[in-house]
Amino acid sequence: METNAMNQSLLGALDIGGTKIAASVANADGPLARVTAPTPKSGPPDTVARTCIELLHAACDQAGVPREALHAVGVSSAGPFAQVDGMLGLASPNICGGQSQSHDLPNDWVVIPLERPLKAQFSRVAIENDCVSALVAERTFGAVRDEPDCVYVTWSTGIGFGFCVDGHVLHGKHGNTGHAGHMLMSDTSDAVCGCGNQGDLEALISGRNLANRLGQSTADVFDAARDGEGNARAIAEDAARWFGRGLYNVAVALDTRMFVVGGSVWQHHGDWLLPMVEKELHSRMHALTDGVTIVPAGLGSLVADIGAFAQVMPPEWVRTWRETEPWTPRDQ
C-alpha cells in the first residue's frame, strides 16, 4: 500500500537559466519526461513563474501522469535571489532587465516572484542557485557522494561555487551562498566582470569574460593552449593559476577536503589544467591545503535536473536511484 502510494507520487524539477527553462517529472523509478521553453523576457513580473508551472504540467501530460500527483518541486536556478515579502524571488541579471548592466533585456523587472507562486501550486518547494543545486546533485548521485566537507565549483561561462561544511550545505541569508566567482583577486587587472567588478575571479577567467577580452572564443584559446601554442599557453597558465588561487582562498576559509569541478571549460580541459591548478592550491598554508583533492564532476549536463530532484527526494528514492542510476546520459 505504502509502496504503491510512493510509486504514484511524483517529483518535479525546474532548471531556470537565462536562455531556457527545463521542467522534468519523475517517479520513484526515475525521470519520466522533460520539456523546455525559452526563458520569458517580457510581460508581467510573474511570467517566468507561470511558465515554470505550465512546463511542469506539460511534463506531466507528456509522461501521461495526473497533474494533481505532483506535490513537490525542486528548483535549480540562475541567481542571485532576493527576498520578496519573506519569500525568494529572482534577481538574476540574465533574466531581470532592472538588474542587467547590458540593457539588452526587454523588461524592467528588478525582482520577480518565484517561491510564492510555486508554493501556491505545490505543497513542497525547494529552491537553490544552480551551483548549490549542483553540489547537492554531486553529493547525492555524483562524484562526492556523502562527502561532508566538499565544494562544487563550475568553470564555464561564469564561475560559481556551492559549499558543504560538516555535512551542511550552506545557503546564506538570501540563498546566495557560493557567488564567490566575484571574489576580488587583482588590483591591477583590467579584466571586467558582468557584475561590474574589475579583477574578480570571474572577470579574470570565466569563459565569457576571457572571450570578450581576447576577442576569440575561450574554446579556441584553450584548444590552442593544449596544442602548445605559446601565447595561448601563457593565457591558459595564467587562468589556471587564478583558478587555483580561488580554490586556495576557499580551502583556507572552509577547511574543505574535496573540490568537485564542473562546467564546460573543466569538462574539456581539466585533465591538463589540473596540475597547474593543484600547484597553486597546494602552494601555501600546508596545514590546510595538504591532501585537498580536485575531482571532475560526475553528472555532466544532467546536474541541474538531478540536483533539483535531489532537493526534494525522499531517502528511499535516493537508495533506489543510486542502485539503478535511471537518468539518461546527455552530452553537454
Query: Rule CB under 5 A: which residues touch Zn ion?
Result: 182, 193, 195, 197, 200, 202
Element (H, E) at 153: strand 150-155
Whether 290 contacts 281, CB under 8 Å? no
Q: Return the number of other C-beta atoms located less than 10 Å from residue 19's C-beta.
A: 11
Least distance from Zn ion to the Cβ atom of residue 206, Å = 8
| CA-based nearest residue to 273, from 310, 251, 242 | 242
Least distance from Zn ion to the Cβ atom of residue 121, Å = 34
Whether 94 contacts 157, CB under 8 Å? no
Of 198 and 264, the one with the shorter C-beta distance to Zn ion is 198
How many angstroms separate the CA atoms of 171 and 151, rounded?
13
Least distance from Zn ion to the Cβ atom of residue 202, Å = 5
Of 101 and 216, the one with the shorter C-beta distance to Zn ion is 101
How many angstroms separate the CA atoms of 219 and 217, rounded?
5
165-199 burial, b at 16+ Cβ within 10 Å, e below that, comes to eeeebbbeeebbbbbbbbbebeeeeebbbbeebeb
Of 195 and 219, the one with the shorter C-beta distance to Zn ion is 195
Pull the grid cell for residue 107.
523588461
Of 130 and 202, the one with the shorter C-beta distance to Zn ion is 202
- What residue is closest to Zn ion based on CB? 193
Whether 156 contacts 300, CB under 8 Å? no
Least distance from Zn ion to the Cβ atom of residue 88, Å = 21
Least distance from Zn ion to the Cβ atom of residue 180, Å = 10
Of 105 and 185, the one with the shorter C-beta distance to Zn ion is 185
Whether 310 contacts 138, CB under 8 Å? no
Of 35 and 96, the one with the shorter C-beta distance to Zn ion is 96
CA distances for 278 relative to 225, 234, 258, 294, 304, angstroms? 18, 17, 12, 8, 27
Least distance from Zn ion to the Cβ atom of residue 228, Å = 31
How many angstroms separate the CA atoms of 308 and 15, rounded?
7
Of 193 and 303, the one with the shorter C-beta distance to Zn ion is 193
| CA-based nearest residue to 26, from 329, 331, 332, 328 | 328
Least distance from Zn ion to the Cβ atom of residue 286, Å = 30
Least distance from Zn ion to the Cβ atom of residue 201, Å = 8
How many angstroms separate the CA atoms of 132 and 308, rounded?
10
- Ranges of beta strands (E only) in 177-237 are none
Least distance from Zn ion to the Cβ atom of residue 198, Å = 9
Of 56 and 201, the one with the shorter C-beta distance to Zn ion is 201
Of 205 and 302, the one with the shorter C-beta distance to Zn ion is 205
Using a 10 angstrom Cβ sphere, with 0-12 exposed, 13-18 middle and 19 or more buried, the burial of residue 13 is: buried
